[in-house]
Structure 1
């Protein structure tokens, strides 16, 4: 046995995505509160970083977002850490909305890892823990 739950990262990312979708809809037996969506989608983002081709696009979204800010001369110098901070404020500073929190939460792990420094700690710690359970 290679892990506690033998799902694989692709399988776990898919199961978590379907669970989140069923829970947010609220009309099924699964119920996910709007305030918990960022945490669920952050887990999806962590799993997606180690999953196959279908999930690799999530990492690209965060990098494209950061690049779009960096290429804007009107903003001056812009680093990936600023984009990570902006994303965090959008998730936790505004009212919980499942669509916004799901997108931002899923993109956050790759953006935090790209920012490095203290931003990389949550992504690296939780990624190691999570993937050790599902591989």
Structure 2
């Protein structure tokens, strides 16, 4: 036995996505509170970074978003940390919306890793904990 739950990263990402989808609907036995959606999506984003090709598009969205801000001359010098800060403010500063929080939460791990520095801490710590249980 290599882990506590032998799902693999692709299986775990699929299971977590299904749980989030069913839980957000709120009409089933599973319920995910709107405030918890970003955390579920963040976990899905961490799993997607190590999953197969079906999840690779999720990880690239954060990089594309940051590159679009960097390439805009009107914004001046823009770094990936600024994109991570805007994303974090959008998640925790605006009213909870499942679609917004799921999207922002799923792209956050890749964006935080690209930003480096203190932004990398939540990604690396949580990723280490998840991989100890999943693989």
Structure 2: any 5+ residue segments left out of the alignment? none
Q: Which residue of 2 aligns with 1:47?
A: 47
Structure 1 residue 44, shift from structure 2 partner: 0.2
Q: Which residue of 1 aligns with 2:77?
A: 77
Q: Which residue of 2 aligns with 1:13?
A: 13
User: Considering only aligned residues, what root-mean-square deviation do their CA atoms show, in Å?
Assistant: 0.5
**SS of match in other structure, 2:3:** coil
Structure 1 residue 69, shift from structure 2 partner: 0.1
Does residue 1:56 correspond to 2:45, yes or no? no
Q: How many residues get paired?
A: 135
Structure 1: any 5+ residue segments left out of the alignment? none
User: Counterparts of 1:6 and 1:51 in 2: how far apart (Å)?
Assistant: 14
Deviation sequence 1:37-86 (CA, Å, 0-9, x none)? 00000000011111111111111100000000000000000000000000
User: Counterparts of 2:5 and 2:78 in 1: how far apart (Å)?
Assistant: 41
User: Counterparts of 1:105 and 1:33 in 2: how far apart (Å)?
Assistant: 15
User: Counterparts of 1:41 and 1:80 in 2: how far apart (Å)?
Assistant: 20
Q: Which residue of 2 aligns with 1:67?
A: 67
Moved over 4 A (4+): none
